[in-house]
């Protein structure tokens, strides 16, 4: 095991259980990196005198160089270790496993469940593993073996979310039986199509489950809804099932239209009062303002960063402007659901961003409710960035 010494000033952090190994914390990291430490190597973190602090693995991601796995020097990181971590994660999700209305959720959430760089989601019989570094991928056989021992499944799939290596199977199929895509999952009784063969996204963002339910149950009835950055239209379908008078889904990706149509059809909602537009959201705002179109409920769920033909959008910089545009076409007393998923923007900061947006839009608002990650997306209490999701329901009061 490679020994890495920690700088004195970061010692307390790791002693108290901080999960991310970042290079500034390690003495002489440059040297270690250039000496060719292999991804997936186990690391013993020590103080300057060589006294044990924690065990981790080496695996470079944009955020750090690896993750802590244990604070017990005697614990070895083999199959039983992975089995224990998985088992304990699964136990915490039994409520979801036993929920007859929902069969898609997160089973294992990286550092929140004790292994950074690894997530596992369940989609109606199929498990999808996301590997975020070559380092964590080195533990693949243990993770698959452990999963096989812990659960029954139809099939296991993977996505390699790091550069330089691709899954052996084009769809990321690993073992079991292959799924037929699209696969249909259920969430709170609503059917949604998912697929593992269209890049990183799967057709549904599982972390927004409670937001979709809130929109359907409490905000949609009788409302004209605008869903921007609508992707497969999941928010629109939930709004429609909650009794929305109309929905308009806007996304610039061509494929979003067909996916959205399918999701409406799956839930027996005819498209009579539901529009699906392939268009740049910022152009649509201009169009709607010009035509005098207004809405009771506007959903803003942009990616953290997006580049289109006409605009570059970075949540950090451009969210106030996005909100201001949305305000122009939100009726008095209407609701804006403002979502942000950048790990570098805290809830406090996002509230300030929202304040700025309403200032530009010359409107006032009150916050009705705030959603963060659901329980299955377990965050690590010492690693603030793992708690990335902030969804604020705003009522326009002037």
Contacting residues toward ligand SAH, per CB under 6 A: 205, 208, 229-232, 234-235, 250-253, 256, 280-282, 301, 303, 306, 308, 311, 313
Contact 127, 121 (CB under 8 A): yes
Q: How far apart are CA 294 and CA 335, in angstroms?
A: 12
- Residue 70 vs 124, nearer CB to ligand SAH: 124
Residue 256 CB, nearest distance to ligand SAH (Å)? 5
Residue 154 CB, nearest distance to ligand SAH (Å)? 24
Contact 221, 249 (CB under 8 A): no
226 three-state secondary structure: strand
Contact 374, 315 (CB under 8 A): no
Q: Please name which of 66, 72, 13, 15 lies closest in space to residue 37, comparing C-alpha atoms.
A: 66
Q: How far apart are CA 380 and CA 110, in angstroms?
A: 9
- Residue 231 vs 377, nearer CB to ligand SAH: 231
Residue 129 CB, nearest distance to ligand SAH (Å)? 21
Contact 162, 134 (CB under 8 A): yes
Residue 135 CB, nearest distance to ligand SAH (Å)? 28
- Residue 46 vs 230, nearer CB to ligand SAH: 230
- Residue 115 vs 214, nearer CB to ligand SAH: 214
Residue 324 CB, nearest distance to ligand SAH (Å)? 15
- Do the bridges between strand 224-228 and strand 365-371 make them parallel or antiparallel, or are there none, so unpaired? unpaired
- Residue 209 vs 380, nearer CB to ligand SAH: 209
- Residue 137 vs 196, nearer CB to ligand SAH: 196
- Residue 4 vs 204, nearer CB to ligand SAH: 204
Residue 382 CB, nearest distance to ligand SAH (Å)? 29
* Nearest-5° Cα angle at 305, 304 to 310: 135
Residue 398 CB, nearest distance to ligand SAH (Å)? 27
Q: How far apart are CA 336 and CA 355, in angstroms?
A: 13
Q: How far apart are CA 359 and CA 365, in angstroms?
A: 10
The token duo for 376 is 């299955």
Count Cβ neighbours within 10 Å for each residue of 7-24 and write b for 16 or more, e otherwise: eeebbeebeeebbbbeee
- Residue 115 vs 250, nearer CB to ligand SAH: 250
* Angle, helix 315-328 to helix 281-291, in steps of 10 degrees: 20
Residue 308 CB, nearest distance to ligand SAH (Å)? 4
DSSP designation for 270: -
């Amino acid at each position: 095991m490679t020994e890495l010494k920690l700088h004195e000033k970061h010692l307390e952090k790791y002693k108290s259980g901080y999960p991310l190994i970042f290079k500034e914390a390690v003495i002489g990291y440059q040297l270690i990196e250039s000496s060719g430490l292999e991804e997936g190597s186990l690391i013993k973190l020590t103080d300057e005198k060589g006294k044990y602090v924690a065990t981790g693995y080496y695996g470079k991601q944009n955020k750090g160089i690896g993750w802590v796995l244990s604070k017990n020097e005697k614990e070895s990181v083999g199959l039983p270790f992975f089995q224990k971590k998985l088992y304990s994660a699964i136990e915490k999700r039994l409520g979801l496993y036993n929920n007859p209305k929902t069969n898609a959720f997160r089973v294992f959430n990286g550092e929140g469940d004790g292994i950074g760089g690894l997530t596992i989601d369940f989609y109606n019989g199929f498990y999808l593993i996301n590997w975020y570094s070559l380092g964590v991928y080195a533990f693949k056989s243990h993770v698959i073996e452990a999963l096989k021992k812990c659960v029954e499944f139809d099939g296991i799939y993977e996505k390699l979310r790091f550069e330089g290596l691709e899954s052996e199977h084009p769809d990321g199929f690993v073992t079991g039986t292959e799924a037929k895509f699209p696969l249909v999952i259920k969430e709170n009784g609503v059917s949604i199509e998912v697929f593992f063969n269209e890049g990183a996204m799967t057709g549904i963002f599982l972390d927004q489950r409670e937001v979709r339910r809130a929109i359907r149950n409490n905000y949609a009835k009788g409302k004209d809804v605008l869903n921007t950055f609508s992707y497969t239209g999941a928010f629109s379908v939930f709004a429609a099932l909650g009794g929305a008078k109309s929905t308009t889904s806007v996304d610039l990706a061509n494929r979003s239209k067909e996916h959205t149509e399918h999701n409406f059809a799956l839930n027996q909602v005819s498209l009579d009062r539901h529009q699906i537009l392939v268009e740049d959201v910022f152009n649509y705002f201009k169009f709607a303002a010009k035509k005098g179109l207004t809405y009771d409920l506007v959903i803003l769920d942009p990616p953290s960063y997006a580049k289109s033909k006409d605009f570059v959008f970075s949540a950090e910089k451009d969210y106030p402007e996005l909100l201001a545009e949305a305000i122009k076409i939100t009726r008095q007393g209407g609701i804006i659901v403002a979502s942000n998923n950048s790990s570098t923007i805290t809830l406090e900061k996002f509230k300030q961003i929202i304040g700025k947006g309403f200032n530009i839009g010359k409107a006032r608002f009150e916050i009705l409710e705030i959603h963060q990650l659901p329980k299955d997306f377990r965050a690590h209490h010492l690693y603030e960035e793992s708690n990335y999701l902030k969804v604020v329901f705003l009522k326009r009061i002037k």
